[in-house]
Structure 1
Amino acid sequence: MKTSVNPTSLTKTQQIQLLKDFIQSHPNEKEMRRALAVKLAMEGYVYRQISQILEVSVGFISKWKQAFESGGLAALRSSYQGGKGYLTQIERQAVIQWLVEQKTWDISDLEVYLIEQYDIVFQSRQSYYQLLKEARITWQKGEQTSPRQDPEAIYKKNREIAELLEKYRPQIEAEELVVYIIDECHLLWNDLVGYLWNFVKNPLKIPILNPKERQTYYGALELFTQEFTLVPEPTANGELTVEFVKKLLGKHPQARILLIWDGASYHRGQVMRDFLTEQNEGLLPENWQITCVRFAPYAPQENPVEAIWLQLKTLLRRFYRFGKSFKSVKRLFQLFVDLKLFNLPNFSNYDAFSRFA
């Protein structure tokens, strides 16, 4: 990304887009916080609100907004460009000792420390990983799989969905039929506990008073426009699912809708069945106001909305220091959605939707 663009030559919308692109490039935490503060200020948020959301001072917001207006993205970055590209043996031991003494670890923190202390920027990220390895700090990730997945059933269901969408392509492109891919996210306070740099046998301790506190979000990704709709609810059940579908209907009063989701009980329970009967009464299947199609069982990876939840939770973990209360966690999650700090799923990676990539 170029950082030499003079913001005074751009419209306000272009400046905000520039900041959004910069944030999505995953700069270090300090630079990301500066960019977020500036972006929120330019979007009209009150400084007091920004201060509460990001836990920064009003002076911090004013300082970096002025810096961006005068110097662009370059002004939000570290002023150091790096000098020599190596550490002496004594310096290397000092860095390892510094790593051992830290309570939290992140590649970006190590990069900033090396710049400020030794005027060094490594060309390869492997050099940073090597320092962490020598300090006996590692990155570990658990992988979950379901033994109940049926590859053949997944293949058949994806082909069925793909053929159905292709059949209705003219109506979809004419916006006579609106297709929504739907999923629910159950956000827990302990979702902050994720993948962080840490000592090999000494897990980082993140204070969480009530790990079972939760917030449910209904999410719907529109296939053709790729607009993402998010609605927070206290839980997920038949009544709230019907209310969510009604909201989607209200966005397209002149169109029919096709819902593609998993087999959750509240998607197929009596409350939803009664609602569908009421909406589609007297109509032939091809003219139904609402049509529902399910993904194959035990195959969440086939739903593109899952990729959005993953990005949002991963970003949330980078800001775990701000999650001092579950209210703060929910505020951050909503903020990330409002600012669209996620990449839209690439439909070419999903068999059911690849023809619409």
Structure 2
Amino acid sequence: MIVFVLSSDEKLLLRDHFQQSPIALIRLKAQTIMLRDRGMKLEEIGEILFRTVRTIARWIKDFSVQRIASLFSGMVDNEHASKLTREQKAEIKQVIGQPPDQFGIPKEFWDVPKLKEYVSTTFGVVYECDQSYHFLLKFSGLSFKYPDKLSPRRNEEQIIKRIAEVKTEIIPFLQDPNCLVFTSDETRVQLESEIRKAWLVKGKRTIIQTQRSKEHQNYLGFLDQKTGACQVFEIERGKQVCIISALEQLLAKYPDQQVCVIWDNATCHKGKLIREKLKKGQSLERLHLIAFPPYAPDHNPIEHVWQYAKKKIANRSNQVFEVIKQAFLDSITQRTFDYRI
């Protein structure tokens, strides 16, 4: 006689699969294990579930070896795809690597309805469970995540050309030990803006207290392309005088060196006040500015720094804003980064 002991986690998982699985066989297997755990005889379980004793015994034996994975035997490991041949799945994997609109489906990204439409029309196969399509998507190398936002005005050809020019232009600065090279950009931290996904208890509603507040702080950051260190200055958004002040503070830290800054072509980065300060004899005369291509924030390495830091302060909106600000700054200034142009 096979004897097993369920852990508390296994009991919760079995209950969840029994209550929520859209697949009848998974529910039956989960129920079998739970009933057996209560000491019920195989004959009694078979009578309740309308299954033979031999089937019940096989399910229990499989569970004793594979544990929770046994519920999905013949399903998950095969993407619930017994209706598809290996060749068909290989073809699907190749197709999913391209946008669906290339196959007559008007959509930029794949999702379950679009994949279902393609599989049905191409192979005549329809699955009862959306989870089967999830496995096909994962099998094809896709993951479920937020897409990056890009402007419709973005010109990829011009961006590639301009980035190549920028890389060429900064070579002398990178090679000169008396020159510093920074990529730069602004960001904003707001009291309740950083609420993000988290792993939460299933079946329970999780609430994070938020404060509706206009408290915020804008920052101008400089990521050193040689060392990976990042410096951050408080500014007021879009004000040239604040940006000039931050640039002057940066230059003051390196009184004997030339400084090259690569940033976007925002109006506040090329206004009259800044142009005047760049002239000989003025406070920014040691500064050399280079512009990234328009609508290409993903090519600015410091954007990755902002993303990292905001993840560190996510879901903290119930804290004092000054504490959040300090946590944001600490996550940046207490380490170095590998992001380069």
TM-score (norm 2): 0.54
Give the one of 322, 329, 345 matched to 2:338. 345
Shift of 1:234: 4.3
Query: Residues 280 and 141 (structure 1 numbering): CA distance in 2 closer, same or farther, change over 3 Å?
Result: same
Aligned to 1:64: none
Shift of 1:87: 5.1
Please tell me the residue identity of whatever aligns with 2:251.
L
For 1:140-179, list aligned pairs within 5 A.
Answer: 141=146, 143-171=148-176, 174=177, 176-179=178-181
Tell whether 2:284 aligns with 1:302.
Answer: no
For 1:182-261, list aligned pairs within 5 A.
Answer: 182-197=184-199, 205-261=207-263
Which structure has the highest helix share of the two? 1
Give the length in aligned residue pairs. 219
Shift of 1:271: 1.4
Q: Check whether the contact 2:159–2:296 (CA below 8 A) recurs between aligned residues.
A: yes
Query: Residues 312 and 169 (structure 1 numbering): CA distance in 2 closer, same or farther, change over 3 Å?
Result: closer
Give the one of 298, 319, 324 matched to 1:329. 324
Q: Quick one: higher RCO (CA 8 Å, sep 6+), 1 or 2?
A: 1
Q: Check whether the contact 1:191–1:313 (CA below 8 A) recurs between aligned residues.
A: no
SS in 2 for 1:307: helix
SS in 2 for 1:191: coil
Q: Measure the CA separation in 2 of the matches of 1:218 and 1:262.
A: 12
Q: Check whether the contact 1:280–1:290 (CA below 8 A) recurs between aligned residues.
A: no
Aligned to 1:92: 13
SS in 1 for 2:211: coil
Q: Measure the CA separation in 2 of the matches of 1:234 and 1:166.
A: 32
Q: Check whether the contact 2:231–2:333 (CA below 8 A) recurs between aligned residues.
A: no
Query: Residues 183 and 93 (structure 1 numbering): CA distance in 2 closer, same or farther, change over 3 Å?
Result: same
Q: Measure the CA separation in 2 of the matches of 1:305 and 1:242.
A: 19
Shift of 1:201: 12
Computing the radius of gyration from Cα coordinates, the structure with the larger value is 2
Shift of 1:237: 1.3
SS in 2 for 1:190: coil
SS in 2 for 1:277: coil
SS in 1 for 2:319: coil
Superposed CA RMSD? 3.9
Aligned to 1:311: 308
Shift of 1:211: 4.9
Q: Any gaps of 5 or more consecutive residues in structure 1? A: 1-82, 98-121, 282-287, 348-352
Shift of 1:184: 1.1
Q: Measure the CA separation in 2 of the matches of 1:297 and 1:195.
A: 30
Q: Any gaps of 5 or more consecutive residues in structure 2? A: 19-66, 77-129, 132-143
Q: Check whether the contact 1:305–1:345 (CA below 8 A) recurs between aligned residues.
A: no
What whole-Å deviation, never above 9, does each CA across 1:119-167 have from its counterpart, x for those lacking one?
A: xxx9x9xx9xx9xx99xxxx86354221111111111111111111224
Q: Measure the CA separation in 2 of the matches of 1:333 and 1:238.
A: 24
Q: Measure the CA separation in 1 of the matches of 2:159 and 2:168.
A: 14
Please tell me the residue identity of whatever aligns with 1:308.
V
Q: Measure the CA separation in 1 of the matches of 2:205 and 2:166.
A: 43
Please tell me the residue identity of whatever aligns with 1:330.
K
Tell whether 2:295 aligns with 1:293.
Answer: no
Q: Check whether the contact 2:240–2:269 (CA below 8 A) recurs between aligned residues.
A: yes
Shift of 1:204: 5.8
What whole-Å deviation, never above 9, does each CA across 1:36-71 have from its counterpart, x for those lacking one?
A: xxxxxxxxxxxxxxxxxxxxxxxxxxxxxxxxxxxx
Shift of 1:346: 3.5
